[in-house]
Amino acid sequence: MSEIRIVEKQQIPSGTTMLFGFPDVGLVGVIAASHLIDELGLNEVAYVDSRLLPPVIVLHEGVPHSSMRIFGSDKVLLAVSEIPLSPELIYPVMDALIDWGKSKKVEMLISLSGIPMEDRQDATELKVFAASSTAETLKMVQDKGVEPMMEGFMVGPQAVMLMRSAQLGLPAITLVAQCFYNYPDPEAAVEVLKGLVKVTGLKVDMAKLLAKGEEIRLKARDVMKRTQEEMSKMKKGQEFDIPVYVS
Amino acid sequence: MAIARRRRGISDMLDDYFRDLERELEGWREAFAERPSWNLKAGTMEPLRDMRITPTEVVMTVDLPLTNPRTMQVKPSDENMLEISAEMKRKVKFKEMGITHQKGEFQRFHFHTRVPVPVKMDEMKIKFKKGMLEIHLPRKHRQ
């Protein structure tokens, strides 16, 4: 048995866009993913099963669910984790998800996340940046009005997703919105979703997400705290570092 | 006389050492203890916070969503302890956070924290914007 198994609950359509929302800085990806599930009416279509995962299940309406699930429709697949991934799990989990996505002939992989910003509380505007697995995909994203992230370090699931996709020749994008490092940031989630809308043409109403911002911040405190612990183990602060480019 | 002075010196050093050790342990307990982020009896929730030490000041930020800024209190309880509380705009029940096996409601954020370096508490400055509290404490440098 493979160490990580994706269990399908129903027929998975081919040719979709596969999105990823994992706990990370500002919980941007998770908040954005949760909003997409509601707004696009996505259903759980598969889940991750592995003895490598911590012994945690999520109860919804009294029945157990994996902490890592894939939601979907005929256009979109969305991989979401309700618990932060420890550094040693990132490679095996992301590899398994991307290989599975490739087997489902996904057209594009897009990870939604944040990039920490100093003095975020004083920011009046949050920028969204994109990094891509290929130069062609990056050009496409730029043409659709998203600024590219040209140099810098990226740490976490979205970094591994990009690298693995590049190795497999899959078109992949990581969209990151400027955000708080340590605090849930629904405003940044709105911005990253605006970036997603630009790139994919999906229709997503942000009004509810904006209106529920304070409630989300209150509810997400515990997940944020656990995520902080994992971020510190994976040296997430390296994203603040200035790289020395070696050509 | 010289011996007495040296003994007192060693004893002071030991006192300092154990005081520092105690502070360090308290910091570790605070950071790593597995306990809920709420206190049902007191009806309080513990907010997320962060502390940054610069050469000139200590900057603490505290996330206080759904709070009424007029009810916010930032009180130094001794030379390096701060107690922070704020009333929420409304009562928040477990049920509305999706939890049905616990009963209770929360009306206030509350926590206290130790500032790890000497600061001038009487020169504290605070600002509050969009539910985010920012506290600036100038550092006190030993002469």
Domain range enclosing A161: 5-240
Kind plus residue range of the DSSP H or E element containing A101: helix A87-103
For B68-112, the pLDDT digits (tens) are: 999 999 999 888 999 999 999 998 888 887 777 888 889 999 999
Which among A219, A224, A225 is the nearest to B97, CB-wise? Answer: A219
Distance between CA atoms of residues A69 and A53, nearest Å: 13
Residue A247 inside a domain? The answer is no
- Domain assignment present for residue A30? The answer is yes
pLDDT tens profile B42-57: 889 999 999 999 999 9
Interface of A with B in 43-102 (CB under 8 A): none
pLDDT of residue A32: 98
Contacts of A119 in chain B (CB under 8 A): none
d(CA A173, CA A196): 10
Strand partners, A124: none
The correct answer on CATH 3.20.20.70 for the domain covering B37-138 is no
Amino acid B61 reads: T
**Interchain proximity B63–A183, CB inside 8 Å:** yes
How confident is the model over A3-12, as pLDDT tens digits?
999 999 999 9
Q: What's the CATH number where A86 sits?
A: 3.40.50.10900
Local confidence band at B1 (pLDDT 50, 70, 90 cut-offs): very low
Burial of A134 (0-12, 13-18, 19+ CB in 10 A): middle
Q: What is the mean pLDDT of chain A?
A: 93
* A246 within domain boundaries: no
This prediction's pTM:
0.86
A87 located within any domain: yes
CA-based nearest distance B97→chain A, Å: 6
pLDDT digits (tens, 9 = 90+) for A170-220: 999 999 999 999 999 999 999 999 999 999 999 999 999 999 999 999 999
Domain assignment present for residue A21? The answer is: yes
Chain B touched by A215 (CB under 8 Å): yes
Tell whether A212 is within 8 A of chain B (Cβ). no
Q: Higher pLDDT residue, A39 or B8?
A: A39
Most A-contacting residue of B48, B96, B129 (CB-CB within 10 A), to test interface:
B48
Provide the residue ranges of all domains of chain B, joining segments of one domain with +: 1-35, 37-138
A227 to A28, A162, B63, B96, B102: CA distances (angstroms): 12, 21, 16, 23, 24
**Closest-CA residue in chain A for B38?**
A222
* pLDDT of residue A222 exceeding 80: yes
- Which chain B residue has its CA at the smallest distance from A181's CA? B50
Q: Does A182 touch chain B (CB under 8 A)?
A: yes
Contact B132 A121 (CB under 8 A): yes
User: What is the C-alpha separation between B140 and B138, in angstroms, rounded?
Assistant: 7
A147 at interface of B, judged by CB pairs closer than 8 A: no
Q: How far is B81 from chain A (nearest CA, A)?
A: 22
Q: How many structural domains is chain A composed of?
A: 1
At residue A77, the 3 state secondary structure works out as strand
* pLDDT per residue as tens digits for the range A154-166: 889 999 999 999 9
With pLDDT > 70 as the criterion, what percentage of chain A qualifies? 98
Looking at residue B139, the DSSP 8-state letter turns out to be B
Contacts of residue B50 in chain A, CB cutoff 8 Å? Answer: 181-183
Give me the half-sphere count of Cα atoms (radius 13 Å) on the Cβ side of residue A198: 19
**Inter-chain CB proximity B65 and A217 less than 8 Å:** yes
- A219 CB within 8 Å of a chain B CB: yes
